[in-house]
Each structure stands twice: as C-alpha cells, then as structure tokens.
Copies of this chain bind each other. A is one copy, B any other.
Amino acid sequence: MSPSDKALYRGGDGLKALFCPQRVALVGASRRPGKIGSLLWSNLSEARTSGEIFAVNPAGGEWTGRRVFASVTEIPDGVELAVLAVPAPSVLPLAEESLRAGARALIVVSSGFAESDEEGARRERELAALCHDAGALLLGPNSLGCIDTGSGLHAAVARQRPSPGGLGVISQSGAFCTVVLDWAQARGVGISRLASLGNQAGLCDSDLLLSLGQDERTQVIVAYLENLSSGDEFLKVAESVAARKPVVLLKAGTTRAGAQAFTRHRGGMLSRELAYVAAFRRAGLIQAETFEQLFDTALSLLRQPLPAGDRVAIVTNAGGPGIMAADSIERAGLQVASLSEATIAELARALPRATRLKNPVDVRGDAGAGEYLRAVEVADADAGVDAVLLLLTPQALTQPTETAAALAGWRKPHKPLLVCFMGGALLEEARHVLDAGGVAHFCAPERAVAALRNLCSYAAWRRRPPRVVTRFRVNRRRAERIIARHQRSGQTTIGELKAKELLRAYEFSVPEGYLVQTVEEALEMAERLSYPLAMKVISPDILHKSDVGGVRLGLSSPEDVRDAFDLIALRLARQAPNARLEGIFLEKMVHGGREVILGMNRDPQLGPLLMFGLGGIFVEVMQDVAFHLAPITAEEAAQMLRQTRSFDLLRGADRRQEIDMDAIAVGLQRISQLVTDFPQIQSLEIDPFLVGAPGTEPMVVDAQVLLRAPEGA
C-alpha cells in the first residue's frame, strides 16, 4: 500500500471499520474448547458490543439459538468486519468472499504467511492486493487481532478481557499483547484500544499509532516494535501524536545499540539503531529500556500529571531507604528538592514527632496515615517541589492500608505523586487500595525514580521552545561546483583537499597550505608558510594516506621538508605504484586545543544523522558519542555536546585548557546546513576538528566527504 493510499484511512475515524464495526463475522468460528476459533467466538460474542456478531463455519447449524452461517456471503445485509481464523491456504478464497459480503476491514489471525516461507510470502502479497483493490483495511496476517473497549469489540486471540480505560497498545509481538493485558488486569489499568500488528501486509505501525493518537479515549500509548515498516513516516506520525499524548516505546534492538554498534571501521559507527534512538528522542517518544520500565512509565503517565520540573521531595518513614532514593534521584539526573523554610516550619507544626524535616522528610517509623498525608500535602505545596516520592516500610505501627486510602482519597492539584510501599504480605491490601484509587505505585524506589525520569523528559519535550534553525551565510554556489565536478567525473569520494575547500565554502577555517609538485616548490612554499609543517600525498586513489606512508608531520626545517618529500615519493612508489598523484600538499601544522570529531551519515529512511565525539579513542573505545538528526538548532547542538560524558572535560575539567564549546556547536550547525542543502552528500567526517580557547577559530585538520552513488550504480 503506497503512502497516498494510506491517506484514505487517515482522519477522525479512518479505522472505524476495524475498531467500531456494526456487523462482524468470525470466519472459522468454532465451539471446540482449546481452538482459536472458539476463544475468538466467546471473546467476540460475550464482549458488550453495539453491533452484531455472526459465526461462520462450513458445518453451518445453530449454537445456543444463534444461526451459524456456512459462508460469510450468506449473512443477510453482509458484514463490515471479517475476522479470519482459518488455515492459511483457505485465507485467500475466504477473504475474497468476505469482501464480496461487503467487509470494509479484515483481521487475519492465521499464520503461515511471509513469516513462514516463500509460498506464504506470495500468499500474503495476494491478500494485500485483494484488500487494496477492494479499498478494505487489512490487519495482519499473523496478527493476534484487536480490541476496542469503547465499541465493545474483542477480536483478539487472548484470554484476558480488559476493562475500559485510557491505555492504548500497539505491538509487533502478539505475546507482548497478552503480557500487557495480563499486567493491566492485575493492576486495575483499563485499555482503550489494542492492536497486534502481525505481518503488517496492510495496516502498519504508523497507521495504528495515528489511529490511537486520534482516539479520544486513549490517554497513553505503549508500543512494542522490533523494526519499523517505514522510519520517516513513523517518525512524522509519532511526533504529531506525542505532541498530544505520551507514547512509550520499547524497541527491541536499540537497547544494545550502544554496546554493539561501534566497530573499528568508522562507517559502522553511525548505525541504524543509534539513528533511531536519536530520532525517537527528537520526536518526543518516551523510550523504555525494559518491560518493567515500559509498564512503570505507562502507569505513572496514566495516573499522574506531568511534572513542571525535576525537583523531587521524598517523604519516608525510614532513613535508609530515603537516602538510597535520594541517591537514585541524583543518579537519574533529577534533583533532590530543597524545601523552603516555610515548608520546613509547616512540617514542624504538622508533624511534631517527625525525625527529619529536611528532604528526605522522615515522618518517623510509627507515623500514621494522617501524618503521611500531611507531609505529602505540605511538600506538594512547596513551590520548589515538582514531584513527591513517598516511601513506606511496614513497621510495627505503620498503617499501610489506611495510608493507601488517604493517598487514594487525596485530590492533589498539579504535581505527580509516586508511591513506593516496600515489602510484601502486609502491603497486599494497601496495594489494591492504591491501584483502585489510581495512585501510581511501585515496589522499589529505584523503579519509581526511573518512571519519574521518563515523565520529566517527556514534560521537558512538551515544553521545548519552538525550533529555530539558524541559517548561516555561506558560499553555496562554490560548494555546489565542487560537488557537481566530482559527480560529473563519477567520483564518490571527495578527498581531504577538496573536502576542506567545500567546508571553507561553509565558513569553516582550514590550515593554510599549498599543493606542490616538486621538492623545489615545496621548499619555496615552506618558507612562505613558516614551520612546523605537515606534508600529505593527494591522490584520488589513496583514501588512507597514513597507511601508505603518505603523511609526514612536524617538519621543522628545509632539511625536514626535503627528507619528507623524498620519503613520501619512495614509499608511494613501493606501496601504491599505480595511484594517480595530484601532488603533495604542504600545510601549516596547527597546535594546541582539543581534537574532536564532527560527522554526518545519511540514513536512507531518517535522513542526515549528525555525530559528535572527542578524538579517536574516546569515540572508538569509550564509545562516547552523541547523535542528532539534521537540521539542528543551536540549542540541540549544545545538547549534543552535553550528552557526551566527555562534556565535563570539554568544559575545562582539565584546567590547563578551556575550549570554545560554542565553536563546536556552530560547527555542527554548519554541517547540518551543508548536508541539508546537498542531499548528494552521503557522509562527511571532520577528524580532527581542532578547537582552541574561547574566541579562537577552530580548524578542520582533516576531512573527508562521500557522495551518494549515482542512481542505478
């Protein structure tokens, strides 16, 4: 299905035939327990729905007073949705019949399609074409089905029957759907809509995400994805949905990207998965690292408002857990709030027996429900507090259930309250009370903190200023000429010399230098440039100059220049006898400052991904790099720098040299502009980019640009 076709289904109730159908046929209905057709039949027929449900089974007959149709075509007045639960080989003819019976949407739960073999893949293509031609929606094949508690549709192969609520679910894994349904039931979380994507032959991740985004009953969306059907499309939809409601995403694969995506070869560094992480962040998606974090975050979002900031007050009835929670707040990058003097005075009045009135506030082991509630109220009212974390240990005189009831009954104004009752047996009832009262609660403080951190990041994204991308004045025409010349001659690599020219056109500074052909010319230019100098061979056939002995550094006298020239010539004659030589580049050596790397790699789906990192080992071994999609704003470029652990270093932890952070951020923005202006650029790397003290001009010491291979190459 092409994007333009998909547009048909966009708009308020584009997926109405799927989620809110009036007339539903289950093709392959069964009454044999343990059969999928039987489970689906009871789910469909027993869920309260406004529409009508029809059983279709070739045997025909009657079940508990209801007619069973031998064929979907026999149903009077036809159907709107057909759910197909039949063996794969029967799917195509029965899908055709269903469409003839008027179906505007098909759910195919059968497996045996593209996930199985080539025969299945062919079958799947035919199924998709069939639905496409008929203008009907297709969910699946190999889908668990879908649920809409608003319309009362339960067309999913799952034993759980969710209650209505605000959580929307999209999953590429059917098993994950059952995990969410089961968790939600245990925690008293209601579901709005759920969709198992299956093989996505028709409707895909972004279609469902858009639909849940538009569904008014859906307040929070959780999504489990293994790969994206179309990255840029998904991101566009995701950003628009995230602007209205939170989307928590667990994407298999991205979690290990940090550890695995780095290879010694530079090209691999900018991997697809890292591109996704960066893209998701910009789109405002909340990325969960584990199943637990996905659930914890969704629960917090459903039950609590977004925080206005990241300052957390802790209310506890035990010192040790309070201290450990404070540690974990700091480690998560949030702040342990400083309570105001007024708050402390108010706490002293309200809690005469409290052990500690500063944050973490210790209400004392024997504090009752009333004391807990007062402490939360007072902490919540402090203008310097953005969220409250409550800890309870089940000590002798603690009142867990009463405290839970007090918290559940409390109507707090605008700030999140995250609750952590630590223990087991004595807290079971209290936990039910908290769940029933819509309080976000957890078993361990570090989990509450991880969820809160996700809330804070999302809230900060919602508050982000409008993106304004700076346009620098550059010599675009000169850049265009360099690129065009390379393309005309079929060169996809722009070597150091021309890459530096290209960057100069975008106002980067490069060291002074000359291309020379003879030793005499070299000596003459050396006098002009003054020492120390570097000498590099220039050849379209030599990518890694050092590997063939084509680079000499630190030349400090005419003798050095003469020796270097002769040595390069000698080495080249031996190691690259057939290389076409353009000459020898004699360049002024730049000293001092910090070496960083700026780079870009263009992802086929996501577009240009910018990279920043410190020099060689920091990038290759410490893996301390940051990514962002272009075009980038000044603030985003500054954020990229801060994302690296080396940030402290750059800011001058190493007292001996302070370096110009702004200059790096400007460099990233200039690259952003260059690669946005020229989609022909596939990748670009400035390594090293030498940055000096604030106010000095950073230098491109070496650079390389790769152009996209011409079409059809």
Is there an interface contact between A185 and B318, defined as CB atoms closer than 8 Å? no
Q: A174 contacts the other chain (Cβ, under 8 Å)?
A: yes
Q: Which residues of B contact A422 (CB under 8 A)?
A: 179, 182, 291
The residue in chain B whose Cβ has the minimal distance to the Cβ of A391 is: B175
Which A599-629 residues sit within 8 Å CB-CB of chain B?
A: 616-617, 620-622, 624
**A160-B426 contact, Cβ under 8 Å, with A175-B393, A178-B394, A327-B256:** yes
Is there an interface contact between B646 and A320, defined as CB atoms closer than 8 Å? no
Q: Which residues of B contact A393 (CB under 8 A)?
A: 175-176, 178-179
Q: A401 contacts the other chain (Cβ, under 8 Å)?
A: no
Q: Which residues of B contact A181 (CB under 8 A)?
A: 423
The residue in chain B whose Cβ has the minimal distance to the Cβ of A183 is: B424
Q: A323 contacts the other chain (Cβ, under 8 Å)?
A: yes
Q: Which of A182, A226, A654 has the most CB of B within 10 A?
A: A182
Q: Which residues of B contact A653 (CB under 8 A)?
A: 264, 617, 620-621
Report the Cα distance A365→B115, complex, angstroms.
15
Interface residue stretch chosen among A45-53, A276-284, A443-451? A443-451
Pick from B172, B319, B617: contact of A173, CB below 8 A. B319
Q: A655 contacts the other chain (Cβ, under 8 Å)?
A: yes
Q: A383 contacts the other chain (Cβ, under 8 Å)?
A: no
Q: A7 contacts the other chain (Cβ, under 8 Å)?
A: no
Which A253-291 residues sit within 8 Å CB-CB of chain B?
A: 255-256, 259, 264, 290-291
Report the Cα distance A143→B222, complex, angstroms.
46
Q: A54 contacts the other chain (Cβ, under 8 Å)?
A: no
Report the Cα distance A653→B620, complex, angstroms.
8
Is there an interface contact between A182 and B427, defined as CB atoms closer than 8 Å? yes
Is there an interface contact between A654 and B616, defined as CB atoms closer than 8 Å? yes
Report the Cα distance A320→B176, complex, angstroms.
8
**A186-B425 contact, Cβ under 8 Å, with A264-B655, A393-B176, A622-B622:** yes
**A424-B185 contact, Cβ under 8 Å, with A327-B255, A654-B616:** yes
Q: A592 contacts the other chain (Cβ, under 8 Å)?
A: no
Report the Cα distance A654→B621, complex, angstroms.
8
The residue in chain B whose Cβ has the minimal distance to the Cβ of A648 is: B621
The residue in chain B whose Cβ has the minimal distance to the Cβ of A330 is: B256
Which A388-411 residues sit within 8 Å CB-CB of chain B?
A: 393-398
> Nearest-CB distance from A312 to chain B (Å)?
16
> Nearest-CB distance from A164 to chain B (Å)?
16
Q: Which residues of B contact A428 (CB under 8 A)?
A: 186
The residue in chain B whose Cβ has the minimal distance to the Cβ of A327 is: B256
> Nearest-CB distance from A318 to chain B (Å)?
3
Is there an interface contact between B446 and A39, defined as CB atoms closer than 8 Å? no
Q: Which residues of B contact A446 (CB under 8 A)?
A: 290-292
Q: Which residues of B contact A331 (CB under 8 A)?
A: 255-256, 259
Q: A19 contacts the other chain (Cβ, under 8 Å)?
A: no
Pick from B159, B396, B621, B655: contact of A426, CB below 8 A. B159
Is there an interface contact between B179 and A290, defined as CB atoms closer than 8 Å? no
Is there an interface contact between A425 and B160, defined as CB atoms closer than 8 Å? yes
> Nearest-CB distance from A104 to chain B (Å)?
26
> Nearest-CB distance from A292 to chain B (Å)?
4
Q: A453 contacts the other chain (Cβ, under 8 Å)?
A: no
Is there an interface contact between B179 and A423, defined as CB atoms closer than 8 Å? yes
Report the Cα distance A443→B655, complex, angstroms.
48
> Nearest-CB distance from A336 to chain B (Å)?
12
Q: A645 contacts the other chain (Cβ, under 8 Å)?
A: yes
The residue in chain B whose Cβ has the minimal distance to the Cβ of A393 is: B175
Is there an interface contact between B292 and A444, defined as CB atoms closer than 8 Å? yes
> Nearest-CB distance from A56 to chain B (Å)?
20
Interface residues on A, range: 35 or more
The residue in chain B whose Cβ has the minimal distance to the Cβ of A319 is: B173
> Can you list, as one digit per residue, whether each of A218-230 has a CB less than 8 Å from chain B (1) or not (0)?
0000001010000
**A397-B620 contact, Cβ under 8 Å, with A255-B324, A446-B292:** no
The residue in chain B whose Cβ has the minimal distance to the Cβ of A621 is: B649
Pick from B178, B252, B320, B395: contact of A395, CB below 8 A. B178
Pick from B318, B624, B648: contact of A176, CB below 8 A. B318
> Nearest-CB distance from A302 to chain B (Å)?
15
Is there an interface contact between B646 and A397, defined as CB atoms closer than 8 Å? no
Q: A503 contacts the other chain (Cβ, under 8 Å)?
A: no
Q: A317 contacts the other chain (Cβ, under 8 Å)?
A: yes
Q: A452 contacts the other chain (Cβ, under 8 Å)?
A: no
> Nearest-CB distance from A265 to chain B (Å)?
11
> Nearest-CB distance from A197 to chain B (Å)?
12
Q: Which of A321, A395, A397 has the most CB of B within 10 A?
A: A395
Q: Which residues of B contact A176 (CB under 8 A)?
A: 318, 320-321, 393
Q: Which residues of B contact A617 (CB under 8 A)?
A: 646, 649, 653-654
Q: Which residues of B contact A224 (CB under 8 A)?
A: 320
Q: A298 contacts the other chain (Cβ, under 8 Å)?
A: no
The residue in chain B whose Cβ has the minimal distance to the Cβ of A445 is: B291
Which A236-266 residues sit within 8 Å CB-CB of chain B?
A: 252, 255-256, 259, 264
Q: A212 contacts the other chain (Cβ, under 8 Å)?
A: no
Report the Cα distance A646→B39, complex, angstroms.
56
The residue in chain B whose Cβ has the minimal distance to the Cβ of A447 is: B292
Is there an interface contact between A291 and B321, defined as CB atoms closer than 8 Å? yes
Report the Cα distance A423→B624, complex, angstroms.
36
Q: A315 contacts the other chain (Cβ, under 8 Å)?
A: no
Q: A158 contacts the other chain (Cβ, under 8 Å)?
A: yes
Q: A301 contacts the other chain (Cβ, under 8 Å)?
A: no
Is there an interface contact between A425 and B646, defined as CB atoms closer than 8 Å? no
Report the Cα distance A427→B182, complex, angstroms.
8
Report the Cα distance A173→B317, complex, angstroms.
11
Q: A187 contacts the other chain (Cβ, under 8 Å)?
A: yes
Q: A34 contacts the other chain (Cβ, under 8 Å)?
A: yes
Q: A138 contacts the other chain (Cβ, under 8 Å)?
A: no
Is there an interface contact between A395 and B174, defined as CB atoms closer than 8 Å? yes
For the complex with contacts A159-B426, A176-B321, 17 further pairs of A-B residues with Cβ separation under 8 Å are A158-B395, A159-B394, A173-B318, A175-B320, A175-B393, A175-B395, A176-B320, A179-B423, A183-B423, A226-B323, A255-B328, A256-B327, A256-B331, A290-B446, A291-B324, A620-B653, A621-B653
Q: Offer 13 A-B interface pairs, CB within 8 angstroms, sorted by A.
A: A158-B396, A159-B394, A160-B426, A172-B320, A176-B320, A186-B423, A226-B320, A256-B331, A264-B653, A264-B655, A290-B324, A291-B445, A617-B654
9 nearest CB pairs, A to B: A186-B424, A175-B318, A182-B423, A185-B425, A173-B320, A175-B393, A621-B649, A183-B424, A186-B425
